[in-house]
Amino acid sequence: MFVSAIIAAGGRSLRFGGAHPKQLVTVGGRTLLDRSVSLFLTHPRVDEVIVALPPELVADPPECVRGAPAKPLRVIEGGPRRQDSVANAFGVIADQSELVVIHDAARPFASADLVERTIGAAAESGAAIAATAARDTVKQAERGLIRATLPRTTIFLAQTPQAFRRDVLRDALRSTEDATDEAELAERAGHFVRVVEGEATNIKITTQEDIAVADAIAARRSDAERQPDAARSRPARTGRAGIGYDLHRLVAGRPLILGGVTIPFDRGLQGNSDADAVCHAIIDAILGAAGAGDIGRHFPDTDQAWRGASSIDLLRRAVEIVRGAGLEVGNVDATVIAERPKLGPFVEEMRANVAGALGVTPERVSIKGKTNEGVGEIGRGEAIAVHAIALVRST
């Protein structure tokens, strides 16, 4: 598949200010434009690169877009809006181009893996964007007053790269209405856009205050690149795994809550909190992976502060403990063992709830239901158990 990359760098950087165009600001010894352009020039899936710049930079191109690169590189004049710059670049892509990936020059730290995953998702689905799940509670406000609290599990923060099959992007760019990105235009044109897990370090440089964060990221990467050859030749660290297990008796007069979902049933799980065994097993798994103890250490059932507590909230608190150890959750897999009720109709909602608490996308959460084949107290319908495994990794 022939892939064209468009680097959107045609803006005037009015919010950024400063004496130089934002594209040419240096972070860690390299300009933002250089970092973004080189990512795609060196990426094995990309066949050509088109860079949209302001007219004055087209007349006197920066060093990073001069010379004789290893693959075709064109510099074109951007337009007054981002979508105009992308449309100008789209007009000069190669005739054989089948897929177009678009990236903001102001995001200098996207990884080659993120580009790879976004291209792969767009090739399958027609359109895909990198995005991160919202971790904080999301409020909708107007004139300084909160109007609504939005479900955090449905909120994602868009990034670039964004990738589209050629026909999808053509449809999107037919619109003359303002939009913040090409994904919005594709949505308006009736296309579905797939979300790919983004990266926390894939920040956008918008104001002068962002430079300090960017310098820190650049310094960290530079330190990693300067490691001794022996250290760099060691196998990559894939993360740390933890195992969790929980079991609760089923009793009358309690709601059955699993994965944050209240499931219709004649009994519920007995416990000090809401006794959500799915969340409890996952809490033990992520704490274990981080070497941070277990649920009893942090939320003991002898402490009345946790009486009736939401286990989804406890899971969020456990995630903060993991983050405090310099780690983040990679993925979790849980198996619920219950003779009744059938959990299939509730699994997707459970996945979404758990993902929201973990701060990841639902595709990184697996929840499965099994029976105990009539054996033991679980088989007799007296209890429900959950096994979980989690992978955490350095942030």
Question: DSSP letter at 171?
Answer: H
State in Å, rounded, how far the first CA of the chain is from the last one.
Answer: 33
- Predicted pLDDT at 209: 82
pLDDT computed for residue 366 by the predictor: 95
Contact between 149 and 213 under an 8 Å Cβ cutoff? The reply is: no
pLDDT of amino acid 309 = 92
Check whether the bond before 341 is cis (ω within 30° of 0).
yes
Q: What is the pLDDT along the chain (395 residues), one digit of tens a residue?
A: 899 999 999 876 555 555 567 888 888 889 999 999 999 999 999 999 999 999 999 998 898 888 767 789 999 999 989 899 999 999 999 999 999 999 999 999 999 999 999 999 999 999 999 999 888 888 999 988 999 999 888 899 999 999 999 999 999 999 888 998 999 999 999 999 999 999 989 999 988 888 888 888 888 777 655 555 544 444 444 589 999 999 999 999 999 999 999 999 999 999 999 999 999 999 999 999 998 889 999 998 888 888 999 999 999 999 999 888 888 899 999 999 999 999 999 999 999 999 999 988 888 999 999 999 999 999 999 999 999 999 998 86
For helices 112-125 and 32-41, what crossing angle results, to 10°?
60
* CATH classification for the domain delimited by 240-394, as one of 3.90.800.10, 2.40.50.100, 3.30.1330.50, 3.40.50.970: 3.30.1330.50
Pairwise CA distance, residues 47 & 50, whole Å: 10
The fold for domain 3-233 equals: Spore Coat Polysaccharide Biosynthesis Protein SpsA; Chain A (3.90.550)
The answer to whether the 3-233 and 240-394 domains have the same CATH topology is: no
β pairing state of 138-142 and 145-150: antiparallel
Nearest-10 Cα torsion for 36, 40, 43, 49: -170
How is the chain split into domains, by residue range? 3-233, 240-394
CA distance 56 to 49: 20
pLDDT of residue 230: 46
Tokens read off for 249: 């008796």
Which residues contact residue 260 at a Cβ distance below 8 angstroms, ignoring those fewer than 6 apart? 276, 279, 310, 311, 312, 349, 350, 353, 354, 357
